[in-house]
Structure 1
Amino acid sequence: MKSVNFLLAFVLLALASSLASAYDPSPLQDFCVAVNDTKTAIFVNGKVCKDPTLATPDDFTFSGLNIPTDTNNFLGQNSILVTVDQFPGLNTLGVAIARVDYAPGGVNPPHTHPRGTELLLVVEGTIFAGFVDSNNTLFGKILYPGDLMVFPLSMVHFQINVGKTVGVAIAAFNSQNPGVITIANSVFGTNPPIDPYALARAFQMDVNVVKELQAKFRSSN
């Protein structure tokens, strides 16, 4: 009886661990092309799915990652994130991809992806990239074309183009919709705003500086 109870406890623990480590739900069919027209939808797994007999090769292709994004902004950086919303064929498959462009000195500011781990491939330029773990340890390194860096799920991470030429990177995610939370925007750009006195105390800043930052980030959002 003790061995049976131990085996049952082990199975339940293993099942709980597998559920806790899961991200996007596993597919229940070969594919599930997202569709907004419910008249031609028959399955539900993630987004509503197109009838698979109506799927075409176009549902499984996407064009445009060869086109540079506009980096003429205060960050000197821009990106195009291709999720299930732009690429319906990704629905239920648990993947997404992005192109990131950096002007010289451009910064992809500290941010997180709450639903996905990111794998970054540098294509052009010299990029300093890093993430911070739950012990506030920085893991950072200069990356060159062909180099990869992984940013674990929900860890705060960033990139800086430290070279004198433009930079390009491709980011892959293990989620069809990884989400993005930019730290500065989520702290100073909320609507309604966080109490500036609370932020001033948290960041050990003058409250007027906090109010200026809130005004700046609210306008940029």
Structure 2
Amino acid sequence: MPQLFILFFFFFFFILFISFSKADPLQDFCVADLTLPQSPAGYSCKNVSQVTVDDFVFTGFRNPRNNSNTNMASLTPAFVAQWPALNGLGIAAVYAELAPGGQVPIHSHPGGTELIVVIEGTVIAGFISSSNKAYTKKVDTFEAMIFPQGLLHFQVNTGSVKAKYVVSFSSSNPGVQTTSMSLFGNDLPSEILEKVSSIDVVEVKKLKAMFGGTN
């Protein structure tokens, strides 16, 4: 009998957990109040009396960032920090432009799945699965590609004209970790990094110098 009670208790707790994790929001929206600190559960809500229709319109894509950088890429984000109305809605966006030869280096988003829709030009895009299989494809205008959450992925413009595309995420704050910057832009001792990366320490130091790392 005690075992049956314990089994029932855990079953009830599991059902309760699932129901709460998939529960509908208790209010229509929660525009983030960026003047207050962010908690693990997200931002506090702006007082609804101060919310206007302008909170739900994002104009940042009108003036995209320039692409005069080493990657020849312009990425204009609309995450919750730039668009507070996204708070708690599980969605975000980026407008991207890649000059010919430009690229978005291999990176991952630990907090969300990514979808790109090419609206002009062509990009070579791909991701690497957890079994180390690479999935790559030339994505043409009005085609789309999806990158599962947490997997390494990239985009490269191998064409002769600027590529433009819109990116959406399944999170209002998906996070980003660029592989090369994470590996070589840190203060981990070069000798340790040599052992854990299997890259010669001389090359490690060159890469650290390139990406602003120390030690």
- TM-score (norm: length of structure 1): 0.83
Structure 1 contact 125–163 (Cα < 8 Å) conserved: yes
Change (3 A) 1:140 1:26: farther
The answer to whether residue 106 in structure 2 is matched with residue 110 in structure 1 is yes
> Pick from 133, 136, 158: which aligns with 2:132?
136
Partner of 2:66: 70
**Aligned to 1:53, which of 44, 49, 53?**
49
Q: Is the 8 A contact 1:131 1:151 kept in 2?
A: yes
59-68 vs 100-109, which moves further: 59-68
- Name the structure 2 match of 1:149: 145
Letter in 1 for 2:200: D
User: How many residue pairs were aligned?
Assistant: 209
Are the equivalent residues in 1 in contact too, given 2:34–2:81 (CA < 8 A)? no
How many angstroms apart in 2 are the aligned matches of 1:95 and 1:197?
A: 41
Aligned pair in 2 of structure 1 residues 159, 19: CA closer, same or farther (>3 Å)?
Answer: farther
Larger mean Cα displacement after TM superposition, 78-87 or 66-75? 66-75
RMSD, matched Cα: 2.8
Report the 3-state secondary structure (helix = DSSP H, G, I; strand = E; otherwise coil) of the residue aligned with 1:194. Answer: coil
Q: Secondary structure at the match of 1:99?
A: strand
Number of the residue aligned with 1:34: 32
Aligned-pair distance for 1:77?
1.3
Rounded Cα–Cα distance in structure 2 between residues aligned with 1:213 and 1:18: 48
Shift of 1:203: 3.7
Q: Which among 172, 194, 201 is matched to residue 200 of structure 1?
A: 194
Letter of the 1:218 partner, please give it. Answer: G
**Structure 1 runs of 4+ off > 4 angstroms?**
1-20
Separation in structure 2 between the aligned mates of residue 201 and residue 91 of structure 1, nearest angstrom? 41
> Whole-Å Cα distance in 2 between the matches of residues 48 and 195 of structure 1?
40
Question: Which of 78, 83, 106 is the equivalent residue of 1:82?
Answer: 78
State the AA in 1 paired with 2:125. Answer: A
Q: Deviations over 1:14-44 (max 9, x none)?
A: 6667788x7xx96331111112456xxxxxx
- 1:12 positional shift: 5.7
Question: Which residue, out of 112, 115, 121, partners 1:119?
Answer: 115
Query: Is 1:209 the equivalent of 2:203?
Result: yes
Sequence identity percentage: 38
* TM-score (structure 2 length as normaliser): 0.85
Equivalent pair of 2:95/2:166 in contact (CA under 8 Å): yes
